[in-house]
Amino acid sequence: MENPQASHRILDESTGIVEPALYFQKTLACETLQLITPAQSVSCSFWIGLVPPGKWTPQSLLTLASASELLLQAAREGVAETESLMVVDSSVQPPRGFYLMMQSTPPTMTAIMEKSRAVLDVIAAWKPQKIGFYLAESLLPLEAQFHFLTQVFTALSQEQQDRSYFYLRDPQSDYTKSMNLLLSVKEEISLQGGDPFLVLH
């Protein structure tokens, strides 16, 4: 059977771009973090997003067919809520889950730590094996994203579970900056003694 991962190039700052099939033979137990665009379709039913206050109700968001469209619209036009919430679409199988964090202005380190703890609690409760993130740069600058993602992934790396992660790139953000962000998070986790993951694109 064809390796479903073989179509992706693998970026590893220690080895450069290598042959995917050979690389995965050696690292099958390693977690992966894949940078994706809104146009890509991935098999992930659990997403974490950041949203401002706005017009969308949770029910109306679920009328949007794709996860990327839902996350982009919620981040762009906001949600009619005052607190972070979990939105679940049980009309499909498997059910789609979206944990929508309300934007903090400004994004202080205290707020970032609180959000990372909340995300970890949600993940512990729902136990997804595939997790996607969408963090619009207009709502959370890349430096703040670095601190948030580092805190989340450092904690998750200690659980020693083979999860797959996806980072949905903000269409308004530079591709290279997004990739450098993920590689920086990986490097920081390694420096802190956590288990690193493969960064794919």
The pLDDT value given to residue 30: 66
Q: Which two tokens stand for residue 137?
A: 């740069």
In a domain? residue 26: no
Count up the domains in the chain and report the number: 1
Residue 5 vs residues 84, 198, 200: alpha-carbon distances, Å: 34, 12, 9
In a domain? residue 1: no
In a domain? residue 164: yes
Q: Residue 34: phi, psi to the nearest 5?
A: -110, 130
Distance separating alpha carbons of residues 58 and 87, to the nearest angstrom: 6
In a domain? residue 111: yes
In a domain? residue 138: yes
Q: What range does the domain containing 89 cover? A: 44-170
How many Cβ atoms from other residues are within 10 Å of residue 94's Cβ?
Answer: 12
Q: CB-based contacts of 56: which residues, under 8 Å, 6+ apart?
A: 73, 74, 77, 78, 79, 80
Is 95's pLDDT higher than 50? yes
Region 4-23 average pLDDT: 40
For residue 195, name the pLDDT band (cuts at 50, 70, 90). confident
* pTM above threshold 0.75: yes
Distance separating alpha carbons of residues 88 and 90, to the nearest angstrom: 6
In a domain? residue 196: no
Region 149-174 average pLDDT: 92
